[in-house]
Structure 1
Amino acid sequence: MKINFIALLIAAIVTLIVGFVWYSPKVFGTIWMRENNLTEEDLKKGNMLKIFGLTYVFSLLITVTLMSLTIHQSGAVGMVGGPPEIDKAEPSFAAFMADYGMAYRTFKHGALHGFLSGLLFAFPLIGINGLFERKSWKYIFINSGYWLVTLTLMGGIICAFV
């Protein structure tokens, strides 16, 4: 199983694209700002290069995790010691990968796993933080919804093209 690093780089951009739309004033941006007690002036004070740059770096980390969650063959590769050890694997591994190496490698399958990651991982994390930070349910649902959509798209891209 070879990794398509370009697909991972593209999948990481999804966080920025979805965020641009999701948090725009015409979608949830105005409500999100109100729930965070932020103003337009507050948002202009941020270092956008740092914010977008680190967002992309963090998104790359997410793609690595999503790759292991969406591509089931990653487990088989891990069992032989990872990519550096594939050449040393038993012939049965090559036969297995020849038969099943592309099983469930579709956008739809990856999107399902991405959605489940958002629902069963991101939503609870944001919910816990929101509750302790005394944030509203609007805040929790807006941010969780963003991650549901983002992880669904990222999972689809990763599973289909990596």
Structure 2
Amino acid sequence: MLFNPIACIVAALSTFIVGFIWYNPKVFGTIWMQESGMTEEKAKQGNMLKIFGLTLVYSIIVSFMLSPMVIHQLSALGMVGGPDKVAEALPSYTAFMNDYGTVFRTFQHGALHGFMVGLLFVLPITAINGLFEQKSWKYILVTGGYWVVSLTIMGGIICAWK
């Protein structure tokens, strides 16, 4: 199976584990709170069901969009028009998939591409937003670093889970 929605859901859930560790006060939580202006009192006022529920939804969306970036075979599938068009594809598609259908489908390869997406796409976006919001570089690096680590793990899970 080229695309695995269960892998995407598990990858999305991994962001909670990373966040639990990353934003722990003994890791980067205290720095993040100081640099973002968050306080314990303000955090307790938040609607946790809404925050965690939407975080899960958005993380699932991110994982679905990450899939074609870490699974190269999805590009070949896209070239023939998607799953509905496989039966109509030229024999070269079937030959290609027979030869290369599982090539680079490892945790390490997915993690590499997830890391690249985090470092070269998400971190710059986080930095741009942080600059306009006049946030510190500590804030930008803590927030961007979380996404680099999360996307690395997400990419590994998505790519390796066949």
TM-score of the alignment, normalized to the shorter chain, above 0.5: yes
CA distance in 2, matches of 1:3, 1:78: 12
What is the CA-CA distance between 1:8 and the residue it aligns to?
A: 1.1
Question: Secondary structure of the equivalent of 2:159?
Answer: helix
- Residue in structure 2 matched with residue 78 of structure 1 by the alignment: 78
RMSD (Å) for aligned C-alpha atoms: 1.0
Question: Secondary structure of the equivalent of 2:31?
Answer: helix
CA distance in 1, matches of 2:98, 2:20: 41
TM-score between the two structures when normalised by the length of structure 1: 0.96
Opposite residue 88 of structure 1, the aligned amino acid is E
Q: Structure 1: where are the runs of 5+ without partners?
A: none
What is the CA-CA distance between 1:16 and the residue it aligns to?
A: 1.1
Identity of aligned residues (%): 61
- Residue in structure 1 matched with residue 120 of structure 2 by the alignment: 120
- Alignment coverage as a number of residue pairs: 162
Question: Secondary structure of the equivalent of 2:141?
Answer: helix
Deviation track 1:95-131 (CA, whole Å, cap 9, x = no partner) reads 1101001111100000000000011011100100000
What is the CA-CA distance between 1:3 and the residue it aligns to?
A: 2.3
CA contact 2:3–2:67 (8 Å) conserved in 1 = no
What is the CA-CA distance between 1:2 and the residue it aligns to?
A: 3.9
CA contact 2:130–2:140 (8 Å) conserved in 1 = yes
Structure 1 runs, 4 residues or longer, greater than 3 Å off: none
Q: Structure 2: where are the runs of 5+ without partners?
A: none
CA distance in 1, matches of 2:11, 2:2: 17
Residues 146-155 or 80-89, more deviating: 80-89
User: Are 1:155 and 2:158 an aligned pair?
Assistant: no
